[in-house]
Amino acid sequence: MSFKHAIIIFGLLMAAGIGTHISVRDGNYPVAIVNFGIITAKSVDEDFSAAYRYFQNAMLVSGSDPSTLDTPESKREIRRATLDKLITDLFVYNELKVRLGVEFQAIAEKNIEQFLKINSNIEEGAKKLYGLDILGFKRRVLQPQAYKEILEGRMFLANEKFDDWLKDRRAQASVIILTPDLQWKDGEVKLRG
3-state secondary structure the chain: CCHHHHHHHHHHHHHHHHHHHHHHHCCCCEEEEECCEEEEHHHHHHHHHHHHHHHHHHHHHHCCCHHHHHCHHHHHHHHHHHHHHHHHHHHHHHHHHHHHCCHHHHHHHHHHHHHHHHCCCHHHHHHHHHCCCHHHHHHHHHHHHHHHHHHHHHHHHCCCCHHHHHHHHHHHCCEEECCCCEEEECCEEEECC
At 171 the pLDDT is 95
**pLDDT digit string (tens) for 112-148?**
999 999 988 899 989 989 999 999 999 999 999 999 9
The correct CATH number of 30-191 out of 1.10.10, 1.10.4030, 1.10.3470, 3.30.70 is 1.10.4030
**pLDDT digit string (tens) for 167-191?**
999 999 999 999 999 999 999 999 9
**pLDDT digit string (tens) for 81-120?**
999 999 999 999 999 999 998 889 999 999 999 999 998 8
Q: What is the pTM of this model?
A: 0.85
Q: Where are the domains of the chain?
A: 30-191
